[in-house]
Chain A
Amino acid sequence: MKQIQMTKNLSFSLISTNKIIQMNDVWTSYDSKNFALEGINLSIDRGTNYAIVGQSGSGKSTLLKLMNGMMIPSKGTIKIDYVTPDMNNKKFKKMMHTIGYIPQSLGLVKNISVLENIMIGALPRLTTIQSLFKRFPEHEIQEAKRIVSLVGLSGKEDRKAYMLSGGEKRRVAIARALMQKPTILLADEIVSELDHVTAREIMNLIADAQKRMNLTAIMVHHDMQLALEYANRVAVIKEGHKILEIGVEGDTIVDFQTGDLNTEEIMEMYSDDS
C-alpha cells in the first residue's frame, strides 16, 4: 500500500494545452427528473492513466459512454481532442476508429474466433470488400498476431470466444481495442470480477500498453486500491458528483479538488471497498 501523504498543492496541476478530454458542467439524465451525472467537470491530459472510482450506480459508466459518443449530455459541453462526441458528427465518427472502448460486458462476438474478434478493431481501415470476404491484408494479419502475443493469447487464435476463460476474454477485448491503434482507451470495470492475480496481470498489460503507445487510458474501477496503484490521477464519483480528484506521483497523493468531505475520509471510504 502506498504511503499517502496529503498535500494540498494546486500548483501540481500542470498547465498544459494538451487536454485530450474536457468536460464542462456536464449533466445527463435518463428521464427529465433523475440525473445520472450532475455538473461534472473533468480535464484529462494526453497520455494520462486516469481512473474513475465509484460505487455501483454512481454514474461512472455513463461518463465513459459520454466520451465515446454513445450518449450525449443533456447539459454542458464535452470535447474529445477538441471535437464534440456525437455519432452523427462526421468528424467524431472518424475519431471513434481510434477510441478503444471495453464495456463491462466486454462485448465480444462469442461465435467467432479470437483472431476475428481482434480483427474487428481493424475494420475501419479495411475496404468493404476486404471486410465482407475476410480478405485481411497481410500487414493487418501480422499486426493482429503481434497483439495476440502481446496480450498472451498465442496459440489460441482459432478458439471461439465463448470457449475462453474470464481472464482470456478480457485479453481479447484489450487486443481488439489495441488493434484500433487507439489514442484513447476506455475500460469499464475490466478487472472487477477477476481474482486478485489475474486482475493484476490484466492491469499490468494495460499499463504497459498505455506507456508504450502513449495512450490516454481512462479506466473505471470500484476498487480504490487498484486505482491508486496504476493511475496517475483518480477521480471519485458519488451519486453523479465528482467528490474528489487526486494526483498520484510516486508515494505522494495530491489533492486537486476539495469537496464537502475531506480527502482522508473519502480515501478511507473507498480503500476498503474491494
Chain B
Amino acid sequence: MTPKNNIVIGIIIALVVIASYNVDANPLEFVEGLPNLAIVVEEMLLVEPKYIPTALWAMFETIQMAFIGTVVGTVIALPLSMFAARNLNSKFVYAPVRALLAAIRTFPSILWAILFVIMVGLGTFAGVLAVVMYTIGFIAKLQYEAIETIDSDPMDAVSSIGVSKWQLIRYVVIPESASHLLGQILYMFDYNVRQTSILGLVGAGGIGFYIINYIKFFEYGKAAIFMLVVLVTVLFIDWVSVKIRDKYIVKSQHGMEVTVKKI
C-alpha cells in the first residue's frame, strides 16, 4: 500500500461520510429500525395461500406484457441499429439516430410508464408501451455496438464483389451479429419481466399493481405471496435463458461440434 493509495482511500471515505450527512443517511436509524423489519417479516409469514391463483394470473399477465414489449421493441430496434452503426453509414445518418436512441434511454421504464398512463390511461397497455420504448433504446444500442465489432474481413471480402448495401447487411451483418442478438433478447426479456413487475406502481398493470396496493393497506401477508411469485418466476426465466445460451450461443461462438440438421 503506497501513501498515494492511502490518501485516495481516505478521500473516498471522507466523501462517503460527507455525502451521508448531506442526505441524512444515519446508520443508527437503520439499527433502530430493525425491529420494524421483524414486524413486516412476521406479517409476511402470515401468507394467505388462497391468493396464489390470483398472483399466478397476475404474473402471467406481466410475462405477456414483457413478451410483447420485448418482441415489438426488438423489431423496431433492429432497423434503427443498422442506421446507427458507424461502419455502415455516414455521419449524417448515424449521428441523429444515435442521439434519438440516447434520448429514449435517458428515461427509465417507470417514467415511460407514467407518460403512457397519461396518454392511454391506466392499465396494461401503458405498461406494454413503456417496455417497448425501453427495449428499443437498449436493444438498438447493444446491437449497433455488436455490428460495429463484427469481423471486418468478411465485410471487406463481400464489399469487394460490389454488392449493394442491403445485400451486405443481409448476408454479412445480420448473420455475423445474430449470435449476439439472441443473447441480448434473452437478457432483455429477463430484465423486462422484472421491470414490468414494478410498472404497476404507477398504474401500468401487471403484478406490481397488486403488490403496491397490498403494501399501501399494510397487508404484507398478501403482498408476500405476489413477491414470492415474482422471485420464483425471475429465477426460472434466468435458469431457462442460461440453458438457451449454452445450447445456441456458446457453441456457435466457439465453434464446438454441433450436430447438423439435413434440410
> Interface of A with B (CB < 8 Å)?
68-70, 93-97, 99, 101-103, 105-112, 116, 120-121, 123-124, 126, 128, 131-132, 158-160, 162-163, 173, 180
| The one of A106, A111, A124, A131 that contacts B175, using a Cβ cutoff of 8 Å | A111
Interface-facing stretch out of B50-58, B158-166, B201-209? B158-166
Give chain B interface residues in 169-194, CB to chain A under 8 Å: 170-172, 175-176, 178-179
Cβ of A128 and Cβ of B166 under 8 Å apart? yes
The answer to whether B154 and A109 have CB atoms under 8 Å apart is yes
Residue count of chain B within 8 Å CB distance of chain A: 29
Known: A99-B160, A180-B161. A111 touches B179 (CB 8 A): yes
Q: List 5 A-B contacts (CB under 8 A).
A: A70-B160, A99-B160, A110-B154, A111-B252, A128-B167
Residues of chain B whose beta carbon lies under 8 Å from any beta carbon of chain A: 153-164, 166-167, 170-172, 175-176, 178-179, 252, 255, 257-258, 260-263
A-side contacts of B163, CB under 8 Å: 120, 123-124
**Smallest CB-CB separation from A164: which chain B residue?**
B255
Query: A112 contacts B160, CB within 8 Å?
Result: no
- Taking CB atoms, residues of chain A closer than 8 Å to B164 are 123, 128, 131
Grouping DSSP codes into helix (H, G, I), strand (E, B) and loop, the B interface class, with mixed when no group exceeds half, is helix
Contact A131 B153 (CB under 8 A): no
- Docked Cα-Cα span, A120 to B173, in Å, equals 13
Task: Please state if B171 and A116 are interface contacts (CB–CB under 8 Å).
Answer: yes
B162: contacting residue among A94, A109, A126, CB under 8 A: A94
Listed from nearest, the 9 A-B pairs whose CB atoms lie closest are A107-B157, A96-B162, A105-B153, A111-B175, A107-B153, A101-B160, A123-B163, A107-B154, A112-B175
Q: B157 touches which one: A97, A101, A128 (CB < 8 A)?
A: A101
Would A109 and B175 count as touching, CB distance under 8 A? yes
User: What's the least CB distance linking A98 to chain B, in Å?
Assistant: 9
Neighbouring B residues of A126 by C-beta, 8 Å: 167
Query: Which chain A residues border B179 with CB–CB below 8 Å?
Result: 111
Q: Which residues of B contact A163 (CB under 8 A)?
A: 255, 257-258, 260
Q: How many angstroms from the CA of A93 to the CA of B160 in the assembled complex? A: 9
Nearest Cβ distance between residue A127 and chain B, in whole angstroms? 10
CB-CB under 8 A for A108 and B154, given A101-B160, A120-B161, A124-B161: yes
A160 to B153, CA, bound (A): 17
Given contacts A105-B157, A109-B172, A111-B176, 11 further A-B contacts (CB under 8 A): A102-B157, A106-B153, A120-B163, A121-B161, A124-B163, A126-B167, A158-B261, A158-B262, A159-B260, A160-B252, A180-B161
Residues of chain A within 8 A (CB-CB) of B153 are 103, 105-107
Tell me the complex Cα distance, A183–B162, Å: 15
